[in-house]
Amino acid sequence: MTVHDHAAAGGPLSDDRAGAIRDRLRLAIVGRKLAPGTKLSEAEVGALFEVSRTVVRAALQMLAFEGLVRSERNRGAFVANPSPDEARQIFASRRLIEPGIAREACARVDAGALERFAALIAEEASQIASAGPQARQAEIKASGDFHLLLAEVAGNAILHRFMEELVARSSLVIALYGRSDASSCAHAEHRGILDALAAGDANRLARLVGEHIDHIEADLDLAPQGRAPALKDALGL
């Protein structure tokens, strides 16, 4: 398979080749097609996309910055494998940032934006109703895009980029530590958030967004039972 087989289907791909590869890899990681810890060999990725290692290295460096890839010197790049502690930090960051973003979005939202929110929620509902891994990936993307649209409407490009990183890494965390999918639950909360946004009720909106994040985190199993910690406990340290 080469990149050309899917070039037409891609979303907002950058025009530069490194950015395009980064976008494709990110989609695969966030969509859980690439499991955490998977080795991303430069030669292999390069062969897949028909580019040299130079371009692949640039793409991997970008993903490393976003925290989706862990790069180890002389060893290569791997899909990130966030620890429970990192997971907590990711959600603590979202808990701090997103209610504020929502307040700002509430002040700036207009009819066009509300339509885009509604379209995303409809897409999300449609994918939840569908079966198959393709639908799961699309559902994850729609759910994340809901939060990103909030940041976009808020009109702050920096916070939007922070949110892109946090939402992407959240998907990895949920893949690793998610107890249930809880997608229908999250979806219902998205509807409530849109209601508050449409009503212009900034306080209710901020509260709902905060609770939404709490609920997602509450569905995680972040007990210190990862491989390394478990071993450590097993040895009685």
Measured between alpha carbons, how far is 57 from 182 in angstroms, rounded to an integer?
A: 36
Closer of 73 and 112 to DNA (Cβ) = 73
The answer to whether 17 contacts DNA (rule: CB under 7 A) is yes
> Which of DNA, a second copy, none has residue 41 at its interface (CB below 5 to 8 Å by kind)?
DNA
Measured between alpha carbons, how far is 183 from 56 in angstroms, rounded to an integer?
A: 34
- Contact indicator for 101, 156 with CB cutoff of 8 Å: yes
- Partners of 77 in the β-ladder: 40, 71
In the complex, least distance from residue 162 CB atom to DNA, rounded to whole angstroms: 25
The answer to whether 4 contacts DNA (rule: CB under 7 A) is no
Question: Which parts of the chain fold into alpha helices (H)?
Answer: 17-30, 42-49, 53-66, 84-108, 111-129, 133-154, 157-177, 183-199, 202-218, 227-234
In the complex, least distance from residue 50 CB atom to DNA, rounded to whole angstroms: 7
The answer to whether 14 contacts DNA (rule: CB under 7 A) is no
Give, to the nearest 10 degrees, the angle between helix 17-30 and helix 133-154: 120
Quick one: tokens of 52?
Answer: 């040299």
By CB under 7 A, name the one of 32, 57, 103, 116 that touches DNA: 57
By CB under 7 A, name the one of 13, 36, 42, 103 that touches DNA: 42
In the complex, least distance from residue 51 CB atom to a second copy, rounded to whole angstroms: 15
Q: State the amino acid at position 7 in one-letter form.
A: A
> Which of DNA, a second copy, none has residue 230 at its interface (CB below 5 to 8 Å by kind)?
none
**Residue 120's closest CA among 142, 89, 88, 90?**
142
Touching a second copy, residues 109-168 (CB under 8 A): 156-159, 162, 166
Q: Which span (25-33, 86-94, 172-180, 189-197) binds a second copy, by CB under 8 A?
A: 86-94
Residues forming the site for a second copy (CB under 8 A): 16, 57-58, 61-62, 65, 67, 73, 86, 89-90, 92-93, 96-97, 100-101, 104, 156-159, 162, 166
